[in-house]
């Protein structure tokens, strides 16, 4: 079945150029071209589209307004902005509704790669209801204490990008969203950024203030609204930080280069993003899932598949992929409980996070952090099973050192 792609631009010569340059995709895509937001909405009233790529500045309905409407009417649609305009006020309006931002002029091969990757991500989460839940997400819950610390800092006269970046680094939801922003073409960085402090530096204080205080890219966690057994966001954050630091230490023990070490640190911080998605979007089902695992001693991943029709790794990876975070990070998040399903064998962020997560969760009884198994066959295939005792000691050192 062909994927349905909608391109929207008020400049007809640009639509004609896209038609010509993407002609080779006609065997895989049914492509539609609309000269306005209003026409795009009419086209979407029939069979829904898989992906929409819209210009930003158009007469009548602009790109941000179009994506807002499409988000409400067709939440499962992947939404992208492709524009040559960098009006920050308009960008901020689009931030809650656009998964990715591309800047004109954009090579047809790049557009093809971005759309193809977004379509391929759906294989991670085949359940349509979950796809809708993930594509609707504008922000994920952050720790109240961290959220308050950040907003107080941004409202003060003493905010520096270093301080802002350090606060953001404490929270997985904040880290993922800020990396989505800094790696988008609209902010003009032009290279991959994976360090939250560096990301804050690249965006600058005023842009960060606008993103957080005006665009609302972060969401404060409401524990009372969830009320799921003994689920605590604090435990999930503590576990994510431990896995992050342990994955980094494992990478350093392997003599990995600086970029690999940084990627392992980041993958560890974000590996349980899917839990935030599930607990925020499906709290009652998450409660049922936890009761079955905790009370009936059911296996975690099998129970997630039974209750949600996907495991939390794939759900988190789907969101991070939609937000255009790099492939090795998406792979690490998707398969950290099932590393043999990944194509890569050898040392990688996936391997580091798989080991770190298993070691860090072995004694947990919190609903947010359930014990994970260790795939010894995978470690042996990667030629690193002999390092396991060394890595256990790294875990012990982190625990004893208070991280």
Amino acid 10: pLDDT: 95
Buried b (16+ CB within 10 A) or exposed e, 294-320: eeeebebbebbeebbebbbbbbbbbbb
The residue among 58, 30, 59 whose CA lies nearest residue 46 is: 30
Amino acid 318: pLDDT: 96
Q: Provide CB contacts within 8 A for 301, sequence distance 6+.
A: 311, 337, 338
Topology (CATH) of 223-400: Hypothetical protein af1432 (1.10.3210)
Give the Cα separation of 219 and 205 in Å (integer): 19
Q: How many residues does the chain have?
A: 403
Percentages helix, strand, coil for the chain, rounded to the nearest 5? 60, 10, 30
Cβ atoms 42, 64 nearer than 8 A: no
Give the Cα separation of 274 and 330 in Å (integer): 11
Sequence ranges of the domains in the chain = 3-121, 144-220, 223-400
- Distance of CA 357 to CAs 231, 254, 344, 353, 390, Å? 18, 17, 18, 6, 15
Digits of tens for pLDDT over the chain (403 positions)? 899 999 999 999 999 999 999 999 999 999 999 999 999 999 999 888 999 999 999 999 999 999 999 999 999 999 999 888 767 778 888 888 999 988 888 889 999 999 999 999 988 999 999 999 999 998 888 988 999 999 999 999 888 999 999 999 999 999 998 888 887 766 655 567 778 888 888 888 988 888 888 778 888 877 666 666 667 888 889 999 999 999 999 999 999 999 999 999 999 999 999 999 998 889 889 888 888 887 776 788 899 999 999 999 999 999 999 998 889 999 999 999 999 999 878 899 999 999 999 999 887 766 678 778 899 999 999 999 999 999 999 999 998 886 5
Which residue reads 């029939």 in tokens?
46
Cβ atoms 323, 176 nearer than 8 A: yes
CATH, range 3-121:
3.40.50.2300
Please state the φ and ψ torsions of residue 201, each to the nearest 5 degrees.
Answer: -65, -45
């Amino acid at each position: 079945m062909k994927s349905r792609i909608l391109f929207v631009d008020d400049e007809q010569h640009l639509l004609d150029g896209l038609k010509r340059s993407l002609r080779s995709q006609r065997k895989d895509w049914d492509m539609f071209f609309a000269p306005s937001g209003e026409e795009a909405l009419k086209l979407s009233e029939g069979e829904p589209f898989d992906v929409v790529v819209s210009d930003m500045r158009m007469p009548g309905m602009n790109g941000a307004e179009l994506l807002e409407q499409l988000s409400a009417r067709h939440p499962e649609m992947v939404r992208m902005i492709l524009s040559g305009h960098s009006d920050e006020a308009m960008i901020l309006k689009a931030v809650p509704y656009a998964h990715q931002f591309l800047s004109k002029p954009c090579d047809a091969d790049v557009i093809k790669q971005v759309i193809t990757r977004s379509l391929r991500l759906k294989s991670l989460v085949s359940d349509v209801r979950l796809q809708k839940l993930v594509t609707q997400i504008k922000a994920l819950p952050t720790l109240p204490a961290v959220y308050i610390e950040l907003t107080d800092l941004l409202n003060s006269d003493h905010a520096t990008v270093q301080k802002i970046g350090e606060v953001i680094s404490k929270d997985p939801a904040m880290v993922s969203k800020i990396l989505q922003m800094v790696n988008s073409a609209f902010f003009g960085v032009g290279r991959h950024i994976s360090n939250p402090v560096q990301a804050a530096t690249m965006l600058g204080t005023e842009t960060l203030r606008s993103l957080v205080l005006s665009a609302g890219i972060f969401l404060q966690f409401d524990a009372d609204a969830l009320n799921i057994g003994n689920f605590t966001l604090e435990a999930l954050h503590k576990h994510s930080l431990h896995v992050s630091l342990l994955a980094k230490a494992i990478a350093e023990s392997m003599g990995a280069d600086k970029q690999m070490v940084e990627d392992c640190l980041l993958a560890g911080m974000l590996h349980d993003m899917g839990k935030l998605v599930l607990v925020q979007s499906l709290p009652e089902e998450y409660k049922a899932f936890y009761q079955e695992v905790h009370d009936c001693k059911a296996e975690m991943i099998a129970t997630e598949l039974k209750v949600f029709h996907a495991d939390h790794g794939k759900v988190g990876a789907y969101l991070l992929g939609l937000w255009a975070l790099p492939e090795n990070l998406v792979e690490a998040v998707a398969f950290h409980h099932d590393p043999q399903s990944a194509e890569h064998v050898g040392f990688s962020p996936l391997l580091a996070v798989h080991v770190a997560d298993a070691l860090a969760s072995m004694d947990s009884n919190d609903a947010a952090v359930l014990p994970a198994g260790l795939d010894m066959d995978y470690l042996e295939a990667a030629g690193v099973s002999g390092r396991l005792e060394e890595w256990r000691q790294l875990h012990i050192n982190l625990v004893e050192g208070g991280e």
